[in-house]
Amino acid sequence: MTNLTKQSGYSETMQCVEVIRKKDPNFIPKVGIILGSGLGPLADEIENKVAIPYNELPGVPSSTVPGHEGSLILGNLSGVPVVCMKGRIHLYEGVAAHKIKLLIRTIKQLGAHTLILTNAAGSLRKEVIAGEIALITDHINFQHTVPLIGPNDEEFGERFVAMDNAYDKSLRQKLKLVAEKHGVPLHEGVYIAVLGPNFESPAEIRAFKVLGADMVGMSTVPEVIVARHCGLKVVAISTITNLAAGMEDKSLSHDDTLLYAKIGAKKLHKLLKAFLEEYQDELSQ
């Protein structure tokens, strides 16, 4: 067994699962949720919650980004047993790509069948402005790495994983129905993932528009690839925190990201709760 497999494969995942099961022995989450910038308050609404800081989970790196506290939170949200990642790991923090596998596979191994991802993103479409939310229909991986490189962990999935329907069509349809019913405007589009931590140059944004991207961000895609590899259904939503570089007359900043993430998060919060409630029976199986 190579070092890479040892560090991020089956046994390390099972060690995390064991720590969690000891803290919350009989709880089986069915839906995993990754809470992006501004969505932390959703975790406050989880009932009967058990919170486990990332530093208690062997091998899980703690996030170094303000606004991304690191803990796994288990409990019931709108009647659905969930496990939330409050805070995520970004590749720009210098963490090896394979480290992304651990929490996603832990979520799967705990019993979840679905993963809902949220993030903050810049918009490449000028009509989709800061504070709006958008469903991800597909992605472009511009991070030039993939967490699955290295020996394949057969326990989780096959070597070559398909990326068509990565963002589950039927779940997207359900989210759109719920959004319409509850009067939450929901855009949709293709998300391009960059490595960061710098924001893009205006020339890069012009190039990404030609490639077919509608949103740009520094997360989500590695997690989605790992999730699909281990068979989790995926749905992902971006909170738009800014128009992308060069589209407005001001420089981008993380402060603005956090400010608008909070505004968008209110809509996303409402949408996710309504979605879980509406499909409670189906999602809890």
Stretch that binds ligand HPA, among 154-162, 223-231, 240-248, 273-281 (CB under 6 A): 240-248
d(CA 216, CA 208): 9
Q: 116: which residues sit within 8 A by CB, 6+ positions away?
A: 31, 32, 33, 34, 235, 236, 237, 272
231 and 157 in contact (C-beta within 8 Å)?
yes
H helical segments located in the chain:
3-8, 10-23, 40-44, 100-110, 169-181, 202-211, 221-229, 254-278, 280-283
Shortest distance (Å) from residue 271 CB to ligand HPA: 19
Residues in 190-229 at the binding interface with ligand HPA, rule: CB under 6 A: 199-200, 216-218
Q: Work out the angle between the directed axes of helices 221-229 and 100-110 (0-180°, nearest 10).
A: 40
**With CB under 6 A, what is the number of residues at the site for ligand HPA?**
13
Q: Of 252, 268, 276, 283, which lies in the binding site for ligand HPA, with binding defined by CB under 6 A?
A: 252
Residues in 71-130 at the binding interface with ligand HPA, rule: CB under 6 A: 120-122
Shortest distance (Å) from residue 44 CB to ligand HPA: 23
Should residue 34 be labelled a site residue for ligand HPA when binding is judged by CB under 6 A?
no
Q: Name which of 16 and 135 has its Cβ closer to ligand HPA.
A: 135
Give catalytic residues, as residue numbers: 37, 68, 90, 92-93, 120, 218-219, 242, 254
Single out the residue of 76, 175, 66, 164 nearest to residue 117, CA to CA: 175
- Phi, psi angle pair for 180, to nearest 5°: -65, -45
Shortest distance (Å) from residue 148 CB to ligand HPA: 23
Q: Name which of 63 and 242 has its Cβ closer to ligand HPA.
A: 242
Structure tokens at 223: 């997690």
Should residue 257 be labelled a site residue for ligand HPA when binding is judged by CB under 6 A?
yes
8 and 229 in contact (C-beta within 8 Å)?
no
Q: Name which of 54 and 260 has its Cβ closer to ligand HPA.
A: 260
Q: Of 242, 265, 275, 276, which lies in the binding site for ligand HPA, with binding defined by CB under 6 A?
A: 242
Q: Name which of 156 and 199 has its Cβ closer to ligand HPA.
A: 199
Amino acid at 95: V
The DSSP output letter for 37 is: T
Q: Name which of 189 and 217 has its Cβ closer to ligand HPA.
A: 217
The residue ranges that bind ligand HPA (CB under 6 A) are 120-122, 199-200, 216-218, 241-242, 244, 252, 257
